[in-house]
């Protein structure tokens, strides 16, 4: 990097010191060798193995509710979502009511019970940019924060959750748990899935503390809770 003359200067640099001179040898090491030396030193360090923290006390003190479904609804409405109750017979009616409310446009559902209409037939995920209403099902819900776990197995294109203007999630009432500890315990058996917790419509207030709805995702969230 320095050239032959500069390298020679670095290797045999003469430093004036008082009345005499002292020759100081400076080793020139290339970047790759320096990196290897540093990594070798790091590998030689043996850190003591730390035990995993005990979480029994945390789990024992985790919040629980007398009415998990009722608390879930309160939490969902607090973050701006709307909740609809229905039985297995009228899921379709609620879906269509939501679609009619937001006017005509491209709609898609992947796992809404009883529905087979789907405008999102294109395998290209860019086609999801035209979505007005998108519906799918959640695996479980969390009462303490209204979060709903959505697996990628219930999504045709993952990006649809962010690109749609309005999102509809269906969840069974019996799949609502108290807290995140219980939720993660139930997800232990589905670790091969990608997924995401969704709670309410998209919101951000990063810029000048001004709340913006729908900047990074859906502007509205409707939750269909199926009882029975």
105 in any annotated domain: yes
In this structure, the answer to whether residues 101 and 33 fall within a common structural domain is no
CA 219 to chain CA mean position, Å:
18
In this prediction, residue 35 carries a pLDDT of 85
Number of domains observed in the structure of the chain = 2
In this structure, are 73 and 146 located in the same domain?
Answer: yes
Helices (H), 12-90: 31-44, 56-60, 68-78
- pLDDT confidence of residue 162: 85
Q: Does the pLDDT at position 6 exceed 50?
A: no
Residue 146: inside a domain, yes or no? yes
In percent, the amount of the chain with pLDDT more than 90 equals 28
Q: Answer positive or negative: Cα dihedral of 57, 59, 62, 65.
A: negative
Q: Is residue 50 part of a domain?
A: no
Integer-rounded Cα radius of gyration of the chain: 29
What mean pLDDT do residues 56-79 have?
88
Residue 167 and residue 77 in one domain:
yes
Within a domain: residue 10?
Answer: yes
Within a domain: residue 210? Answer: yes
> Would you say residue 62 lies in a domain?
no
In terms of domains, do 73 and 25 share one?
Answer: no
Domain of 38?
A: 4-44
* CATH at residue 120: 3.40.50.10420
20 and 109 in a single domain? The answer is no
Do 9 and 108 fall within a single domain? no
The predicted model gives 5-32 an average pLDDT of 46
Closest by CA position to 66, among listed 178, 179, 224, 175: 178
How far apart are the C-alpha atoms of 164 and 159, rounded to whole Å? Answer: 9
Whether the predicted pLDDT of 65 surpasses 60: yes
Is 128 a residue whose pLDDT tops 50? yes
Tell me: pLDDT of 13 over 60: no
Whole-prediction pTM value?
Answer: 0.70
Tokens 């006390």 belong to which residue?
Answer: 57
Asked if pLDDT for residue 90 goes beyond 70, the answer is yes
Helix, strand or coil for residue 86? Answer: strand
Sign of CA dihedral 218, 77, 107, 191: positive
| Selection from 108-117, 123-132, 138-147 with the highest mean pLDDT | 138-147
Residue 222 clears pLDDT 80, i.e. is over it: yes
11 or 44, which is more confident: 44
* CB-count exposure of residue 124 (10 Å: 0-12, 13-18, 19+): exposed
DSSP per-residue string spanning 139-206: SEEETTT--EEEEGGG-SSTTHHHH-SEEEEEEEGGGEESSHHHHHHHGGGGTTS-EEEE-SS-EE-T
Residue 33 domain-assigned (yes or no)? yes
Q: Which pLDDT value is given to residue 1?
A: 45
Q: Is residue 54 part of a domain?
A: no
What contacts 119, CB < 8 A, 6 or more positions away? 106, 107, 108
Question: Average pLDDT of the chain?
Answer: 78
Does residue 31 or residue 178 have the better pLDDT?
178
């Amino acid at each position: 990097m320095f050239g032959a003359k500069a390298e020679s200067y670095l290797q045999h640099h003469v430093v004036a010191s008082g009345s005499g001179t002292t020759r100081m040898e400076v080793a020139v090491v290339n970047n790759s060798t320096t990196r290897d030396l540093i990594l070798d030193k790091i590998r030689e360090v043996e850190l003591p193995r730390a035990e995993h923290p005990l979480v029994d006390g945390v789990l024992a003190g985790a919040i629980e509710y007398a009415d998990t479904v009722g608390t879930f609804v309160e939490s969902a409405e607090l973050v701006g979502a709307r909740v609809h109750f229905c039985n297995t017979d009228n899921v379709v009616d609620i879906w269509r009511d939501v679609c009619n409310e937001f006017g005509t446009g491209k709609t898609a559902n992947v796992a809404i019970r009883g529905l087979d209409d789907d405008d999102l037939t294109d395998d290209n995920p860019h086609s999801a940019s035209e979505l007005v209403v998108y519906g799918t099902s959640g695996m479980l819900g969390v009462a303490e924060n209204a979060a709903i776990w959505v697996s990628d197995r219930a999504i045709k294109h993952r990006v649809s959750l962010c690109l749609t203007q309005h999102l509809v999630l269906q969840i069974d009432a019996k799949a609502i748990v108290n807290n995140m500890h219980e939720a993660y315990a139930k997800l232990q058996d589905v670790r091969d899935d990608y997924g995401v917790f969704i709670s309410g419509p998209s919101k951000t207030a990063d810029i000048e503390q001004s709340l913006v709805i729908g900047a990074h995702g859906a502007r509205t969230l409707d939750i269909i809770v199926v009882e029975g």
